[in-house]
Structure 1
Amino acid sequence: MNSPPSRRKKAAPPASTDSTNEDVSQQLDPGSATITVTAVEVTELTQEEQSDRLHLERKVERAFFEAGKALIELRDGLRPAVGDRRLYRSTHKTFDEYCLDRFGYNRSRSYQLVDAAVVVDNLQKCPQIVDILPTAEGQVRPMTKLEPQDQQEVWLTAVELAGGKVPTGRIVKDVVQRIMERTKVLNTYQIGEVCQILVKDNPDLRGRGGCWAIVSAVNDFSCSVRMWDGEHTVGLQHLKSYDYLPAECEQMQLISDHITRVYSDSLEETVKSLLQLLGKVNRPYLTAVEEKLLKLLELEYGRIP
């Protein structure tokens, strides 16, 4: 009798060594992860490098000042003996047009930089200020209408309030306000009044001393006036009324209108000098010859209304 066939046992699969079947979450512990950081050695600056860095930092800080100084020389030069130094005259009739085309500066921005450069120049003359000077035009702007000695006082006070550092524009503005309140005088000038310009060491009024001006706007501490070469803002301490009668003021207004129609930066120097002389007459009328000369200039330059 034959024996029944034996059942063959299936071979058990070998134990898997594939780590993918294991519980990865048990192997990786985020809390015990190690981050390797490579240390980078920072070398100290050499004496020469420190000097280079300070020099470049000063150039950045003084950029607005250098721009203002350059604009001043482009406009009217720093060396009058050289002659006509309007370096924009070959391409543009006026300084305002030149600044707008070349730098994208409107009139306001150009004169902000010019005024700021004048203030910084003045601050540099004070021995106590040499080490801490403005680093931005906005820090200087509140001081532009003050007298030079007041500008220095304001800056020294602002630096002290800032803890011996360069003060913000807000600090400077607050100090300026105190100075102006302390020295505030009543502005009694009236629109249309004729005044004489007094320079009193104010560089912004260079070449305009003794000129007559007609008040066009009355501000708290200054007046906007029309002179032979255009509109200007002048502090009260730089004005002296001629005390003309109303009819005489009206006559001066007519003369001012005639001069304004003729004057421009593109005129020949002789013509501008003549207009400047007419702008300094200390009487409320022109002589017959002066009137003829002015009418001739109006005809020549085609500005008759």
Structure 2
Amino acid sequence: MNCNSTPLALVSDREFVATKSSFGDDSNRFAPVEAASEEVEPLTPEEQRDRHQLELKVGQAFYQAGKALAQLRSQRLYRSTHRTFEAYSQEKFGFSRRYSDYLIAAACAIENLQQMRTIHSQERLNEPERFDENNLSTLQARILPTKLEQVKPLTSLKTAQQQWQVWNQAIEAANGKVPSGRIVSEIVAQLKQKPLVLDQDDCQVGDVFTLVGLEGTQKKYNGCFCVATELTDLTVTVDVHDATLSVKLENLNEIASSDDKRQLPQTLRRVRRLREVESLDRGAANVLKDLSRRTNLTPVEEGLLSWIENYYRVTE
């Protein structure tokens, strides 16, 4: 699944709350359901397992929505009726582009947790003395988010390992239960307060990312793609369409598509070369600025870039 998305830091709580109703989450639509008067009946182990799995499916409707949106976007299945994914998701589902990106990123976070759970569960199977129903590590292997609010803080983290670390700490803070979004947010905030030492496995010269979480004068570059050009212990120097920035590892959002990773450095070179033209028209400058936020170019966008290159006679 393509996990590339618009920076989720830009999704406001107001937009999030307003859009939740698109899923039919309207507490005023139904009268309270009273508990059944019959005596409760115990479930068999198989029935308990089935109930747990079905409850996860009900609670994680957002996960299925995010997976579906990712596939619709990556395969451009909207193209028969809409020119852009943004127009499609708005008209079809009532979702803004940022909210669709948010659902996709949330689904990616769930898949990251599932993958890490599989890895760590296999490791625990090799240590049978620790694998029991009351062990916290066993609970961590079984518990996954059930609400979108619980995943929202995880989407701001770059790696699956960080998401797994935060999620397990949140489970521990919730005494072995599914943690609230507030608990997850607090642990994410604590993690971000610590200086992140650059890991060569996370970033290498030439890698391509989108920028997130920038503040101050660099804030305008949030959402732009960039190419890493120099690494230090704590920072990464990156090239964007019109500048060179020094950012932290947490400001780099990995681009999932291998095709995009191969194409974007060339696109950046073309854009930066055009930006050096002294007589660059305002319209051309605006087009180049817009293209700097596109991690993959449509045929029309590619055509526009080629036309500007031909107009100013700037070609490779």
Query: Please, which of 162, 165, 173 is the counterpart of residue 177 of structure 2?
Result: 165
1:1-305 equivalence runs, <5 A: 40=38, 42-45=40-43, 49-76=47-74, 85-126=75-116, 127=120, 129-148=140-159, 149-183=161-195, 200=202, 209-210=207-208, 218-219=214-215, 223-225=219-221, 231=224, 240-241=238-239, 251=276, 257-259=286-288, 267-268=298-299, 272=302, 291-292=309-310
Structure 1 position 160, deviation (Å) = 0.6
CA gap 1:238/1:132 in 2 versus in 1, 3 angstroms: farther
Amino acid at match of 2:63: F
Structure 1 position 234, deviation (Å) = 11
Amino acid at match of 1:121: E
Structure 2 unaligned regions, length at least 5: 1-36, 121-136, 229-233, 245-271
Give RMSD over aligned pairs.
4.7
Q: If you compute each CA radius of gyration, which structure gives the higher value, 1 or 2? A: 1
CA gap 1:140/1:232 in 2 versus in 1, 3 angstroms: farther
CA gap 1:145/1:216 in 2 versus in 1, 3 angstroms: closer
Question: Do 1:259 and 1:294's aligned partners in 2 also have CA atoms closer than 8 Å?
Answer: no
Q: Residue 284 of structure 1 aligns with which residue?
A: none
Aligned length: 213
Separation in 2, partners of 1:67, 1:233: 29
Higher RCO (C-alpha under 8 Å, 6+ residues apart): 2
The one-character-per-residue Cα deviations of 1:221-246 (angstroms, maximum 9, x if unpaired) are x85537xxx7569999665248969x
Amino acid at match of 1:169: G
TM-score by length of 1: 0.54
Question: Do 2:226 and 2:238's aligned partners in 1 also have CA atoms closer than 8 Å?
Answer: no
TM-score by length of 2: 0.52
Structure 1 unaligned regions, length at least 5: 1-38, 77-84, 186-197, 203-207, 279-288, 297-305
Amino acid at match of 2:276: Q
CA gap 1:167/1:256 in 2 versus in 1, 3 angstroms: farther
Q: Secondary structure at the match of 2:238?
A: strand
Q: Which protein is richer in helix relative to its size?
A: 2
